[in-house]
Homo-oligomer: A and B are copies of this chain.
Amino acid sequence: MSDVKVTINDIARMAGVSKRTVSRVINNSDKVGKKTKELIDKIIAETGFVPDKQARGLASSRSYLLGLVYDNPDALYIDEVQRGVLDYCSNGGYELVVHPCSYKSEDLIANVLSFVKRSKLDGIVILPPASEIDELGATLDDNNIPYIRIVSGRSENAENFVVSNDGQAVFELVDFLITLNHEKIAMITGPMNYRSSKERFSGYKVATEKAKLNLPQNYVVEGTNQYISGIECANVLLDLPERPSAIIANNDEMAAGALKVAVAKGIKVPEELSICGFDDNLLASRIMPQLTTARRPVRQMAKAAAKKLIAKIENGNPSVIVEEVVVAPKVVIRESTAALSPKT
């Protein structure tokens, strides 16, 4: 109730013990007499005492601050991640400090390191594509900074990763199209130096090969994940002599670009052309026709990342730390895909 700041000394005095004992209670030490602990807990509750983070940090070199490092233009994705991490943060009294940065920048690693050190962050969550930089992970390891990388594909070391199995989702998307009698299935990939792009493309590759679709090389075009790039790539694809009947884009933005091109060329979607995106962005359900796409459980992934990260920081439950977290994006079927009349 009282509004003046109550410190560990106050608690100690009120409980008639030394502050060392109060400290033990705060930090859940098991070496405190049951009665003593109960008394102290009671007083803490009554006074509303909360240990001062800065003092705590100064003494134990911790900050109760988590960092979020990202070089990703997708605001919706970022927002989901922030909320996901925060979903778990409250558990341990952590706060989230955000840090957008530039993937291309040569000093990204130094930049991140400085970010962590100048605020003594307890750990960081890194989003793709920055999370794909192995050197960053190595540097963090060298500096003993706990981190979790959120990536696409498989993780070689479960301890530091939360993984989204994008390849599987694209595989399912292609499979779905095949069910719809599509054979001429093209793909607009993301930048192929991104792991997420490789991963999604591999889903396409595996699925089309498994179905023995035997597609020409030029059915695969590399885009940049941007809307404009979707337009450019779709223009190439839809001008092909043997026009694809379906296009899978590496993300919704490019799918929207492809849709735009189709409309411009008078190609009916989905009657004459099926289009799939990836992300289930805001866009996906707003454009007409609504996009068939794949949705990652982003918030859930972020929450899992926070859980692992905090476990690492606090040397908590080892099973949480080493547990492999792999989530599967879910195919969302909407209006931009339709069955092709089977050829005779």
Across the two chains, which residue of chain B brings its CB closest to A117?
B50
Inter-chain contacts of A103 with B (CB < 8 A): none
Of residues 193 to 213 in A, which have CB atoms within 8 Å of B's CB atoms? none
Is A286 a contact of B97 with CB atoms below 8 Å? no
A154 CB within 8 Å of chain B = no
Query: Would A119 and B53 be within 8 Å (CB), given that A83-B100, A100-B86, A287-B286 are in contact?
Result: yes
Which of A35-43, A73-81, A156-164, A236-244 lies at the interface?
A73-81
Size of A's binding interface in residues, CB under 8 A: 41
A225 CB within 8 Å of chain B = no
A293 CB within 8 Å of chain B = no
Distance of A70 from chain B, by nearest CB (Å): 10
How many chain copies?
2
Query: Would A120 and B53 be within 8 Å (CB), given that A79-B78, A82-B100, A96-B98 are in contact?
Result: yes
Residue-wise, chain A 261-284 has the 8 Å CB interface mask toward B (1 for contact) of 001000000000000000001110
Distance of A153 from chain B, by nearest CB (Å): 25
Is A288 a contact of B286 with CB atoms below 8 Å? no
Distance of A275 from chain B, by nearest CB (Å): 13
Query: Would A97 and B100 be within 8 Å (CB), given that A54-B58, A54-B63, A118-B50 are in contact?
Result: no
Is A98 a contact of B75 with CB atoms below 8 Å? no
A175 CB within 8 Å of chain B = no
A132 CB within 8 Å of chain B = no
Identify which of B50, B55, B83, B118 contacts A53 (C-beta below 8 A).
B118
Of residues 47 to 73 in A, which have CB atoms within 8 Å of B's CB atoms? 50, 52-55, 57-58, 63-65
Inter-chain contacts of A227 with B (CB < 8 A): 285-286
Of residues 81 to 98 in A, which have CB atoms within 8 Å of B's CB atoms? 82-83, 86, 93, 95-98
A151 CB within 8 Å of chain B = no
Sample 13 A-B pairs with CB under 8 A, ordered by A number. Answer: A54-B54, A54-B57, A55-B58, A65-B97, A76-B76, A79-B79, A86-B98, A86-B99, A95-B99, A97-B98, A256-B286, A286-B286, A288-B288
* Contact surface of A with B, Cβ cutoff 8 Å: 50, 52-55, 57-58, 63-65, 75-76, 78-80, 82-83, 86, 93, 95-100, 118-120, 227, 253, 256, 259-260, 263, 281-283, 285-288
